[in-house]
Amino acid sequence: MPAEDTVFNVLYDKFMFWGILVGIFTFGWMFLAMLRYRDGVEPDTSGIDHIEVGSFPVDRHNTGLEVLFYVLPSIIVVWITMLALASNTAVWVIPAEEDAFSVDIVGKQWFWEFEYQDSLTWEDDPRTTYVDVEWNGSMLTVHAQDSTATNVTVEVDGVKSEYSIDATTGMLTILNMYFDRALHAEITVFDSEETLLHTWEHIPAAQYDAQGNVVEIYTLSTAGGEHLIIPCDEAIRLDMFSRPHDNSNPAYVGVQHSFWLPEWGVKEDLVPGLESGTVMTFKPDDLGTFPIRCAEYCGLDHSKMIGHIDIVARNGENCDADTGVLKIDDTSSSGGGY
């Protein structure tokens, strides 16, 4: 979602348009009046438009024009207010957790942690990389006929396996490798020079017990160099909390942070001690990588509290509004696409 697509940037353009229009009229009339009625200009003796400098023509005036001077600015102010309120409504309508892709954002000193509540299976666009990954049940297939791909790394729950693509067929088929929705899995495809060509990844959903306690949750941390990964064309809900880096002292509840996406024009504070947290919502519509910054001074290494957010397409989908589905998603993917 580049900056030109954001609701705030659109609102800025509308405000700029009306500001320029009002400015042209206001300053145009001001300069006209300065030139026409300045001191030293020979007064008009016809009596029709005679204006004495320093005096108000109480005996003769244009009621319609005077009313227009009040009504027109009032209409413009009301219109601009409506534009601003409509933009705020579009941003601050918070979707229910069950209707949005949810991630908990945890601010610590001095890094971000991203705790995934929902599962996500995503893949780079095969139309761009010329590589396509399919994982159906117990069979994993990598199609790379038109690419320079030679090697494949399959990582499941932290365990890596290396494979080579058949140079004749341009494919790799692995049997008896079962897809497990509860485990993190990542498939990366490289060429002979170890250049990354294609990524396929499955992020599992959080697991809770009957009492609502976390049993297993997949977490990314900018302290380890990871990025926040979210799908495009979906309502995204980020629940934000400030927590201490060391939980051994219950009295220490962390410090104030502010999760800022500068290219999107949005940020939200992470308030220490606020158990319910704060919420940020948005709906990204373009693929890309965008910076994350902390906009609240949070201590000595505040400047190091940076990261990135990656907007990706779910496996089998893309972010092109006019093209829709790339291919039918298989039953092994998380949620079968969207």
Q: Positive or negative CA dihedral for 78, 83, 88, 89?
A: positive
Q: What is the pLDDT of residue 229?
A: 94
pLDDT at 335 over 50: no
Longest CA–CA separation in the chain, Å: 103
Euclidean distance between CA atoms 173 and 144, whole angstroms? 11
26 backbone dihedrals φ, ψ, rounded to 5°: -65, -50
| DSSP designation for 312 | E
What's the pTM value of the predicted model, to 2 decimals? Answer: 0.72
Looking at the DSSP bridge assignments, the partners of residue 309 are 228, 290
pLDDT tens sequence across 274-300: 888 899 988 888 888 999 999 999 889
Q: Which CATH class is domain 102-336?
A: mainly beta
Rounded to whole angstroms, the Cα distance separating 194 from 153 reads: 11
- 235 vs 276: CA distance, rounded Å: 20
**230-252: average pLDDT:** 82
Quote the CA–CA distance of 295 and 312 in Å, as a whole number: 25
Tens of pLDDT, residues 73-87? 888 889 888 888 877
- pLDDT mean across residues, the chain: 82
Of the ranges 143-147, 214-218, 319-323, which one carries the lowest mean pLDDT score? 319-323
Look at 210 and 200; give whichever has higher pLDDT.
Answer: 200
Task: Report domain extents, the chain.
Answer: 3-92, 102-336
Q: Does pLDDT of 312 surpass 90?
A: yes
Tokens encoding 11: 């609102």
Whether residue 325 has pLDDT greater than 50: no
What is the helix (H) or strand (E) element at residue 122, kind and residue range?
strand 120-123
Q: Note the pLDDT of residue 44.
A: 59
CA distance 311 to 120: 12
